[in-house]
Chains A and B, each alone.
Chain A
Amino acid sequence: MRAAVIQFPGSNCDRDMAVAIRNITGTETTLVWHGAGELPDGLDLIAIPGGFSYGDYLRSGAMAARSPVMHAVIKAAERGVPVLGVCNGFQILTEAGLLPGALMRNAGIRFVCRTVGLTVENNRSVFTSGYSAGEQVRIPVAHHDGNYFADTETLDRLEGEGRVAFRYAENVNGSARNIAGLLNAAGNVLGMMPHPERMIEAVHGGSDGRRLFEGLVRQIA
């Protein structure tokens, strides 16, 4: 398995993501700077990490979504390469048009930083096969703009197509239909606000995030 983690100016979960992938899947992970026009050959996973790319200027993820490397990420996603966007990565994926909808300022205005309960809605994707459908897991969130918005028609369609991967057990940020994680139509792109890479060993207070990566490596290998 070959994995790359994309780094933007202001990314701050890039190393955590690389360590999680390396420790759990046993593969060396390449860090790719946002200015790169191409990605390494033969990637099995592209991760877009959390942080505050470009200082959240204009809108969270807006500038990063238009950076050179994203053209290559979009092409890879279209070829079926799994793309995981966490937190700012989810915002970047919606801004880049790889996922529908938008992530707005939390309904309560406040930055939310705590471990939350999530329900696994769809365990049939490459990212969620390590979980059981309907299972509750605990994974931390840390965001200011995690309030998922899409129009009612889009939300109905996404639910009908089973594209909601994770839902908040309690609504922490105003997200429509409690959506915490969303898949693209082909199922190879997942955006999620919670940070699985921050819940991979006992010292983190749990390891529910670990199973996302374990499931992924079983699906890809």
Chain B
Amino acid sequence: MKTRIFVTLKNGVLDPQGKAIHHAIEGLGFSGVHDVRAGRLIEIDHEPGVSKADLESMCTKLLANMVIENFEIEQA
């Protein structure tokens, strides 16, 4: 069973990487892009018995830094 975990920066936390990507997109000639925020996708292949609570615990203990990041769990 596969679960996808999206880790994103919280609103209001400056994202220099996103800003640089935005700048590069504009440099390629694309217009109309308002903002870019970069995050991280983590795919976990696991036994069906691994609970949502366990996955949440993995996120809060390691995968996301709750000071600056949020996470979303997407189960297939």
| Interface SS of chain A | loop
C-alpha spacing A174/B68, complex, angstroms:
15
Q: Does any Cβ of B come within 8 Å of A112's Cβ?
A: no
Interface pair B16/A108, CB less than 8 Å apart: yes
Interface pair B62/A58, CB less than 8 Å apart: yes
Q: Which of B7-65 contact A (CB under 8 A)?
A: 13-14, 16-17, 19-20, 61-63, 65
Interface pair A149/B16, CB less than 8 Å apart: no
Q: Does any Cβ of B come within 8 Å of A95's Cβ?
A: yes
* B interface residues, tally (CB under 8 Å): 12
Interface flags, A43-83, vs B, CB<8A=1, else 0:
00000000000000011001000100000000000000000
Q: Does any Cβ of A come within 8 Å of B67's Cβ?
A: yes
Interface pair A102/B67, CB less than 8 Å apart: yes
C-alpha spacing A95/B63, complex, angstroms:
11
Chain B residues whose C-beta falls within 8 Å of the C-beta of A102 in the assembled complex: 65, 67-68
Given contact pairs A58-B62, A58-B63, A62-B62, A109 touches B68 in the complex (Cβ within 8 A): no
Query: Nearest Cβ distance between residue B65 and chain A, in whole angstroms?
Result: 5
Chain A residues whose C-beta falls within 8 Å of the C-beta of B13 in the assembled complex: 104, 149
Interface pair A109/B16, CB less than 8 Å apart: yes
Chain B residues whose C-beta falls within 8 Å of the C-beta of A211 in the assembled complex: none
Q: Does any Cβ of B come within 8 Å of A105's Cβ?
A: yes
Chain A residues whose C-beta falls within 8 Å of the C-beta of B68 in the assembled complex: 102, 104, 149
Query: Nearest Cβ distance between residue A215 and chain B, in whole angstroms?
Result: 30
Residue numbers of A with Cβ under 8 A of B are: 58-59, 62, 66, 94-95, 100-102, 104-109, 147, 149-150, 174
Contacts A104-B68, A106-B16, A149-B68 known; list 20 others, CB within 8 Å.
A58-B62, A62-B62, A62-B65, A94-B67, A95-B65, A102-B65, A102-B67, A102-B68, A104-B13, A104-B14, A107-B14, A109-B16, A109-B17, A109-B20, A147-B14, A149-B13, A149-B67, A150-B67, A174-B14, A174-B16
Q: List 17 A-B contacts (CB under 8 A).
A: A58-B62, A58-B63, A62-B62, A66-B61, A102-B65, A102-B67, A105-B16, A106-B16, A107-B14, A109-B16, A109-B19, A147-B14, A147-B16, A149-B67, A149-B68, A150-B67, A174-B14
